[in-house]
Structure 1
Amino acid sequence: MNELRRHLLRGGASAGLLLPLLASGLLAPGRVFAADAWKREAFAARSSADALKHLNIAGSTETRDIVISAPEIAENGAKVEVDILSNLANTRSLLLLADKNPMPLCAEISFSGNALPYARIQLKLAETTRVRAIARGADGRTHVAFREIKVTLGGCGG
């Protein structure tokens, strides 16, 4: 009985502390959910073309200003580190796609202000594949760079 009493008192005290914040509007639980901003269709797409379509990316200009650093041969596809750096001015987001993965869109990272458009991402690759990094500029234009990664041991189901 003492455990139940302690549990109820602890929960009641927590609720009592949060109640004024909820009433004043400073804590709005609906705002914390990222469901509207999350691009579910793009991340669930089964092909790179579908993922790009859901992200409204029609055509990208190939460039050498996006640097993809990744191993040429990955001994284990379960953990492949990929570094992406954009040297393009006003880069606002970086996207990473692995063309032959079951769900190719691996990441989308947004940047604001003068942030350095750089990311290190650990991928799980199903097989030897072409990885593409796409940089979106503040002007809405997109640029792309490609890198082939050979996988000797499969990582995600294949």
Structure 2
Amino acid sequence: MADSVHISILNRRSFILATLGAACSAQLFASSRAFADAGAVLPFERTAHFEEALQKFLTGVTPVEGLIAVDLPEIAENGNFVPITIVAESPMTDADHVRKIHILSSGNPVASVATFRLSPLNGTARVQSRMRLARSQDVIVLAEMSTGVLAIATMTVKVTIGGCQS
């Protein structure tokens, strides 16, 4: 009789585990849109060469300065998490809005730090994030506008403790 009780408990446990597994799997497939496709996000290949990555943006375009405000500390005590806030001047209408904001770094092992996609539904062209910086370097922010304008801003950050490994 003890064996039958033990078997029913195992069956109940197996049923509960199977149900939880199915529920988790269903949720995973239902939220597949939330997973990023790294190839679709980057407009260029991940390259360690900063100049090459920057040239891919600047080819055939004259960048405009003064349209982007970047809030970045001049001295970062720890390169593992350097806060950055970017605000681009744009009315964010269907005809005139910021499409993408790119962050590049001149001294990291990989030049591309982040790419953010925006639309008029964002309301404002404002991005806040944290990034890793390997050492003291220039950080370049590019904003692609729907009008074809490419805005650029450059800041130098001094890093006391590096955050990236080569």
Larger Rg: 2
Alignment partner of 1:141 is 2:160: no
- Quick one: structure 1 residues 48 and 69, their matched pair in 2 at CA, closer, same or farther if it must change by over 3 Å? same
The residue number in structure 1 matching 2:104 is 97
> What SS does the aligned partner of 1:92 have?
strand
Greater helix share, 1 or 2?
Answer: 2
- In structure 2, the residue matched to 1:37 is 40
Give the deviation of 1:117 after TM superposition. 0.9
Q: Distance in 1 between matches of 2:161 and 2:52?
A: 27
Task: Name the structure 2 match of 1:47.
Answer: 49
CA contact (8 A) 1:91 1:135 kept: yes
TM-score normalized by the length of structure 1: 0.74
Q: Which residue of 1 aligns with 2:4?
A: none
Assess, with a 3 A threshold, how the Cα gap between structure 1 residues 28 and 100 changes in structure 2: closer, same or farther.
closer
Structure 1 residues 60 and 74: alpha-carbon distance in aligned structure 2, compared to 1, 3 A threshold: farther
Q: What are structure 1's unaligned runs of at least 5 residues? A: 20-26
Query: How far apart, in 1, do the equivalents of 2:80 and 2:34 lie?
Result: 32
Alpha carbons 1:66, 1:88 under 8 Å: kept: no
Deviation at 1:112, TM superposition (A): 1.1
1:81 corresponds, among 79, 83, 90, to 83
CA distance in 2, matches of 1:69, 1:9: 51
C-alpha deviation, 1:60, in angstroms: 4.5
Q: Percent identity?
A: 25
In structure 2, the residue matched to 1:22 is: none
In 2, Cα distance between equivalents of 1:78 and 1:63? 28
**Which stretches in structure 2 are left out of the alignment for 5+ residues?**
1-6, 92-96
User: Given residue 108 of structure 1, which amino acid in structure 2 is its aligned partner?
Assistant: T
TM-score, length-scaled by structure 2? 0.71
Q: How many residues align?
A: 150
1:64 aligns with 2:66: yes
Partner of 2:70: helix, strand, or coil? Answer: strand
